[in-house]
Each structure stands twice: as C-alpha cells, then as structure tokens.
C-alpha cells in the first residue's frame, strides 16, 4: 500500500517551501523505501527553491540524509529492511562508458527510483538530487542506500550524503591535496569547511579559509584552517599569495561558485596549481579573462561533482574516521530542527548563522 507522509515541497520559483502530504509508493524492482532519521539543509536545496538548478517544480527537497531501510522491492540484495544507510545521489550503473573505463565516479547513468512520489492529487514530485529526504519516508533506488556502521550518530554521518562528502572529496579526490601542500578554500560554509577538513586529513600544512563573514572564519579555524582571510577587508588573492611565500596555493577550492570567486581561485594558485570548483554556478553566470593567463600558468582547472566520490568506498571509511575521532562531523551541526523549520533554516543559512541545520525526525 502506498504510504502518506509529511515532506517539504518547493512549489514555485522563489516561493517559501511548505510541508505537504507526500504519497510514497511501495518499492518496485530495485527500489527501497527508507525511513529518514536526519536530513541536513544544503545550499543546493535553496538553489532548487530559487529555480537555479532547473524548472521541474514542484520539488521534494532534502538530499543529505541518513535513515533505516524499511522495505525493498524485487531483486534487491545489497540492502535489507533494518539496515542503517546514508543516502547517496551517485548510485553508479556499472555499465556506462565511465563505469567500464574504471572511473565510476563519473557515471553518466546513475540510478534513481523509477516510480514517482506524488502529492495527494497525483502531481509528480521532482526529488532533489533524486532523493527527496525532507520527508518522513522516501523512495529511492537501492543503490542510493550505502550501508554504514549503525553505531554512528545519524545527525553527523548523514552530512556525508552531500555537502561534507562534496567538500572532503573536492580536496582529497578531485584536488589530490597531499602532504605539505598549501590549500586555500573560498567560502567557508558546510562544503568549504569540509574541504578544509579534507585538506587537513590529506596532510596539507597551510590551509587558508576565505569568507566574507568573520563567524564563518572562526568556525573554519576550529575545523582546521591555519589562516583565515576576510575577503571584504582586502584582495583575497593578494592575501593568499602573502600567506604562501608570495607564490599562491597549490590547490584553491571555490566553494561559493560565482564568477568573482572562481577568478580569485584562478589567480590565487601557484604556477601549475589546481583550481577545484565545487560551488554550483547558475546557468547565467559568465567568466571572461585573457586566455594567455590560462596558458602561461599551466596547472589544471577542475570541477568536482559530489567530491568525485564513490559512496561505497568513501562513506564507510569516513564514518570510521568520525568514530575514531579523526574527523569531527559534529562540528558541522549548528542546530537540529523539525521539518516545519526548513524555511526558517534557509533564512539562517542566507544570513550565515549556521554551518548546517539538520532536520531530525
């Protein structure tokens, strides 16, 4: 029997979200219904609400979640009812060109549930990143469920489902930060601070956090920034150069995703350095700059979707590091909230009052 649950829906561009009744079908072949325990509020949810991702309203928001598998459909063998899982938005197919080349983190054909979740009147919902976890229960593809150690706090490890994985992976997987490197991270929100944590885990010795908000810079220090720069008080490119012996950083990560921050990242890196864009730009954004600057500096310009992660490989080891006290995921949780407070949490995110608000069911 399809179930009715409460979930957070964005009905129209720029409009406040509302809590609505969602119809969750029984899992079909390859699918799973998950009872959501926690779901973090990621800036990408706000991008969806603002129409910055696409126009497929209404959206069922939420995609940074941990939960317990309630039921599975035909043919599902990788997870079973009762399993504690982190939901992922990269359920790799195993058969596309990227997967066959041995680079499944670029999978072109990731799995999502085949059946739609709907409003009570039958209107189909677009689940954010194919997940839709600001809901008591959600329907996903079983491959979107990554089993992890059930003794870990869901509030903390659920954040690996999006922003924290995106940030850590931007540093470790995409940026290939290594021991002794200098790293600058522009934008110290949940994703940027996770990039700082990733740079620290990888052994970077100079880690510069850049933001426009001093509170964010304080939190960044707590997570591992060795230096901080307020981009409002001067040119961040100059400041990063000064802090790196006049050279620029080996790896600069743009966790804001605007033309001006990307250009700062471009010019704040050392010769042959790497830029990693992890903040999500909107389709209208443009960058114009002298091509010779790219040629003359060498190095690489990369973007990082979901930290180039492979959930089955990366979630369990990051949960282990958390449980061993080597990755402080609790530091990312600014507050826990109820489903009815998601709209307010967007305002707090906008004002920079939080790193992560986490809905707890």
Q: Which chain residues interact with Zn ion by CB under 5 A?
A: 42, 44, 92-93, 96, 99, 107, 109, 162
User: Residue 84 is encoded by which pair of tokens?
Assistant: 């504690």
3-state secondary structure of 320: helix
Judged by beta carbon, residue 20 or residue 254, the one nearer ligand NAD is 254
Judged by beta carbon, residue 96 or residue 201, the one nearer Zn ion is 96
Position 53 contacts ligand NAD (CB under 6 A): no
Distance in Å, CB of 193 to ligand NAD, minimum = 7
Going by C-beta distance under 8 Å and a sequence separation of 6 or more, which residues neighbour residue 234? none
Position 252 contacts ligand NAD (CB under 6 A): no
Measured CA to CA, the distance from residue 46 to residue 227 in angstroms comes to 29
User: Residue 301 is encoded by which pair of tokens?
Assistant: 């310009």
Give the x-and-dash track for 212-231 against ligand NAD (CB under 6 A): xx--x--------------x
- HEC profile for 344-357? HHHHHHHHCCCCCE
Facing residues of 254 across strands?
A: 186, 277
Q: Where are the beta strands (DSSP E) in 190-263?
A: 206-211, 227-230, 249-254
Q: Tokens 């054909």 belong to which residue?
A: 109
Give the x-and-dash track for 266-295 against ligand NAD (CB under 6 A): ------------xxx---------------
Judged by beta carbon, residue 244 or residue 304, the one nearer ligand NAD is 304
| Spatial CA neighbour of 173 closest among 274, 40, 260 | 274
Position 261 contacts ligand NAD (CB under 6 A): yes
Measured CA to CA, the distance from residue 128 to residue 188 in angstroms comes to 23
Judged by beta carbon, residue 223 or residue 280, the one nearer ligand NAD is 280
How does 152-183 read in b/e, with b if 16+ C-beta sit within 10 Å?
A: bbbbbbbbbbbbbbbbbbbbbbbbbbeeebbb
Judged by beta carbon, residue 23 or residue 199, the one nearer ligand NAD is 199
Distance in Å, CB of 103 to ligand NAD, minimum = 16
Position 47 contacts ligand NAD (CB under 6 A): yes
Binding partner of residue 278 among Zn ion, ligand NAD, none, CB cut-off 5 to 8 Å per kind: ligand NAD
Residue 15 has what DSSP assignment? P
Q: Tokens 């998601």 belong to which residue?
A: 342
Range in contact with ligand NAD (rule: CB under 6 A) among 150-158, 174-182, 249-257, 323-331 = 249-257
Position 304 contacts ligand NAD (CB under 6 A): yes
Measured CA to CA, the distance from residue 270 to residue 247 in angstroms comes to 5
Distance in Å, CB of 95 to Zn ion, minimum = 6
Distance in Å, CB of 267 to ligand NAD, minimum = 14
Residue whose CB is nearest to ligand NAD in the complex, by number: 189
How does 108-122 read in b/e, with b if 16+ C-beta sit within 10 Å?
A: eebbbbebebbbeee
Position 265 contacts ligand NAD (CB under 6 A): no
Binding partner of residue 172 among ligand NAD, Zn ion, none, CB cut-off 5 to 8 Å per kind: none
Q: How open is the CA angle 338-331-38, to the nearest 5 degrees? A: 30
Distance in Å, CB of 188 to ligand NAD, minimum = 5
Judged by beta carbon, residue 101 or residue 351, the one nearer ligand NAD is 351
* Residue ranges that bind ligand NAD, judged by CB under 6 A: 42-44, 47, 162-163, 166, 186-192, 210-213, 216, 231, 255-257, 261, 278-280, 304-306, 349, 352
């Amino acid at each position: 029997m399809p179930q009715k649950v409460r979930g957070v829906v964005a009905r129209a561009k720029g409009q406040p979200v509302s809590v609505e009744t969602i119809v969750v079908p029984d899992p079909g072949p390859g699918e799973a219904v998950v009872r959501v325990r926690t779901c973090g509020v990621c800036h990408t949810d706000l991008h969806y609400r603002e129409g910055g991702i696409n126009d497929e309203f209404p959206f069922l928001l939420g995609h940074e979640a941990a939960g317990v598998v309630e039921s599975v459909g035909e043919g599902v063998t990788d997870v079973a009812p009762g399993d504690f899982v982190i939901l992922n938005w990269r359920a790799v197919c195993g058969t596309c060109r990227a997967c066959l080349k041995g680079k499944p983190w670029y999978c072109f054909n990731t799995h999502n549930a085949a059946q739609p979740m709907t409003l009570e009147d039958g209107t189909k919902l677009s689940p954010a990143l194919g997940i839709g976890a600001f809901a008591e229960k959600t329907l996903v593809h079983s491959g979107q469920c990554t089993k992890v150690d059930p003794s870990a706090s869901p509030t903390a490890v659920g954040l690996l489902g999006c922003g924290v994985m995106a940030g850590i992976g931007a540093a470790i997987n995409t940026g290939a930060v290594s021991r002794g490197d200098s790293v600058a991270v522009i934008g110290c929100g949940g994703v940027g601070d996770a990039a700082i944590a990733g740079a620290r885990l990888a052994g970077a010795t100079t880690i510069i956090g850049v933001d426009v908000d001093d509170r964010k810079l304080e939190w960044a220090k707590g997570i591992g920034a060795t230096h901080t720069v307020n981009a409002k008080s001067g040119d961040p490119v100059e400041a990063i150069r000064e802090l790196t012996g006049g050279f620029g950083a080996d790896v600069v990560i743009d966790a804001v995703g605007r033309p001006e921050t990307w250009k700062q990242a471009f010019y704040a890196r050392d010769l042959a350095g790497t830029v990693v864009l992890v903040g999500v730009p909107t389709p209208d954004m443009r960058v114009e700059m002298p091509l010779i600057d790219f040629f003359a500096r060498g190095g690489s310009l990369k973007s990082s979707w979901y930290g180039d992660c492979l959930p089955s490989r990366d979630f369990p080891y990051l949960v282990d590091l958390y449980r061993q006290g080597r990755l402080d995921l609790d530091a990312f949780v600014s507050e826990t909230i109820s489903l009815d407070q998601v709209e307010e949490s967007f305002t707090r995110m906008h004002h920079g009052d939080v790193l992560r608000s986490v809905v707890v069911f």
